[in-house]
Structure 1
Amino acid sequence: MSKQLPAKVALVTGAGSGIGRAVALGLLEDGYTVVLAGRRAEPLQALVDSAREQGRKALAVPTDVRDAASVDALFATVEEVYGRLDVIFNNAGVNAPAVPMDELDVEHWLNVLNTNVTGVYLCCRAAFGLMRRQQPQGGRIINNGSISAHVPRPFTAPYTASKHAVLGLTKSLALDGREFGIACSQIDIGNALTELSVRMTKGVRQANGEIAVEPMVDVKHVADAVRYIAGLPLSANVLNMTVMATNMPFVGRG
């Protein structure tokens, strides 16, 4: 009789709502033990309770990805409880008000960069270290980018700059991780319908200044894409994947 392998361990940041929650649910369905990180404890614990009712394993660890000590505590918990990490989905992110650059205050700029860039760096750094020293060595890092990593919307300089930075970080880790069996991917999402993006169904500013309603895509398709990448053997990688509403103005933007 073959020995049953332990469930793989996945970590999702920003897991309390939206894309993070959908991905966490999908990974739980795939049999992963899922560590749920986010700033709000209540939605994380609700997800843990729901998973437990279905016979699945999850652990809530309230975390502020902007804070190095908080991220270190998160990964210390992962290592202490599970001893390893197989997949991380770096999803936590924020945006800034859509205003001309000269009307954007420094606090909003720093909040976006601290969350979307430094937060991803801190989690990648800790995940890389754990995956490098664990046995068997290796793992998979998946970063939530955006189509804004390639083409901006009007008045989104902070968010666009942050996602361009994530793209560079992803490519660097994909290179640096080869030696240690660490694969790194980025998924660029366009118009996934979540609690935060529902406002877009009422219209979004276009490059010509008009406000237009854009098509949206079910967040389930994003979760399924992350699940596909997570399920690949470490000998294969999807470096970059775009999941978007078919008719949204991405191609041809500008």
Structure 2
Amino acid sequence: MTTPDTTRAPAPAAPTALITGAGSGIGRAVALALAGAGWSLALAGRRPEALEETARRAAQATHGPGGPGTLCVPSDVSRPDQVDALFAAVRDRFGRLDLLFNNAGTFGPPVPLDELSYDDWRTVVDVNLTGAFLCAQAAFRTMKEQDPRGGRIINNGSVSAHTPRPHSIAYTATKHAVTGLTKSLSLDGRPYDIACGQIDIGNAATEMTGRMRTGIPQANGTTAVEPVMDAADVARTVLHMAGLPLGANVQFATVMATAMPYIGRG
């Protein structure tokens, strides 16, 4: 009589995601969605206390026993040395990286073009563009070398990558550049099973978009309150993009408040 084999194969390790700008807003919402789907998380941002709060909420959002691991790494993505340390910490803790959500960003001051200082311009470029490049480059290196090879990068663009707002030249220029970054990453990642897509977000309700609910300048010179959507709606879109097999990719996705002034005359 053959004794049945009651041993269980070890459960596969949870996939690992690194989220920049994870201390609030879109980054936090995406962290909660990924945690609920069983991902291990590396959370990066400038404020340690905010990252710890995201980690606490992610633990509450996790379904099932054990749950994914969470690593908080306070980091400035515009600093190459801190980006290198961030990705080294992710590799040391989890052994691999399956997803980078390149989310860290800043608007800069909403001032007329001729009043924008060089320092403010550089701050926006350093975070939104250089930071996105540095993180994408580090993720590319990690995903290219790990076994199994490959992974996914999702860049946070903006509807400003297509249609600017008044007094937003630094932010708009960087988000246009992120689109170029996404396309180049998609091309260069093909031989190494690295997929890259971009999510362009319009009017998600976060700490950074409070002015939309009280009145924000329009292209015709007026000020108007604009509709907003829940950041969780953005997170669900990112979760869908992240969950695809590497043989499929959402190249560009736009998720926005349905009635925001984007399509048509506004």
TM bucket (normalised to shorter chain) is over 0.9
Contact 2:73 2:86 in 1 (8 A): yes
Contact 2:31 2:58 in 1 (8 A): no
Q: 2:43 aligns with which of 32, 36, 41?
A: 36
CA distance change for structure 1 residues 51 and 219 in 2, over 3 Å: closer, same or farther? closer
How far off is 1:49 after superposition?
A: 3.3
Query: Are positions 1:153 and 2:160 aligned together?
Result: no
Over aligned residues, Cα RMSD in angstroms? 1.3
Q: Distance in 1 between matches of 2:203 and 2:181?
A: 23
SS of aligned partner of 1:64? coil
SS of aligned partner of 1:196? helix
Contact 1:151 1:253 in 2 (8 A): no
**How far does the alpha carbon of each residue in 1:185-205 deviate from its partner, in whole angstroms, 9 at most, with x for none?**
100000000112122101111
Give the length in aligned residue pairs: 254
The one-letter code of the counterpart of 1:8 is P
How far off is 1:52 after superposition?
A: 4.1
**How far does the alpha carbon of each residue in 1:165-202 deviate from its partner, in whole angstroms, 9 at most, with x for none?**
00000011011100000000100000000112122101
Q: Distance in 2 between matches of 1:172 and 1:90?
A: 15
1:58-137 alignment, distance < 5 Å: 58-137=70-149
Q: Distance in 2 between matches of 1:193 and 1:173?
A: 29
Percent identity between the two aligned chains: 57
Q: Distance in 2 between matches of 1:45 and 1:19?
A: 16
Q: Distance in 2 between matches of 1:39 and 1:129?
A: 23
The one-letter code of the counterpart of 1:85 is L
Q: Distance in 2 between matches of 1:19 and 1:191?
A: 11
**How far does the alpha carbon of each residue in 1:53-74 deviate from its partner, in whole angstroms, 9 at most, with x for none?**
6543211000000100000000
1:169-208 alignment, distance < 5 Å: 169-208=181-220
1:43-62 alignment, distance < 5 Å: 43-52=50-59, 55-56=66-67, 57-62=69-74
SS of aligned partner of 2:248? coil
Q: Distance in 1 between matches of 2:240 and 2:80?
A: 30
The one-letter code of the counterpart of 1:136 is P
SS of aligned partner of 2:13? coil
Judge which range, 117-126 or 200-209, deviates more: 200-209
How far off is 1:101 after superposition?
A: 1.1
Judge which range, 225-234 or 199-208, deviates more: 199-208
- Any unmatched runs of 5+ in structure 2? 1-7
> What does residue 218 of structure 1 align with?
230
Judge which range, 44-53 or 118-127, deviates more: 44-53
Q: Distance in 2 between matches of 1:85 and 1:218?
A: 28
SS of aligned partner of 1:16? coil
How far off is 1:47 after superposition?
A: 2.5
> What does residue 4 of structure 2 align with?
none
SS of aligned partner of 2:34? helix
Q: 1:23 aligns with which of 4, 20, 30?
A: 30
CA distance change for structure 1 residues 212 and 169 in 2, over 3 Å: closer, same or farther? same
Judge which range, 124-133 or 195-204, deviates more: 195-204
> What does residue 246 of structure 2 align with?
234
CA distance change for structure 1 residues 100 and 50 in 2, over 3 Å: closer, same or farther? closer
- Any unmatched runs of 5+ in structure 1? none
The one-letter code of the counterpart of 1:26 is A
SS of aligned partner of 1:177? helix
The one-letter code of the counterpart of 1:19 is I
Judge which range, 50-59 or 162-171, deviates more: 50-59
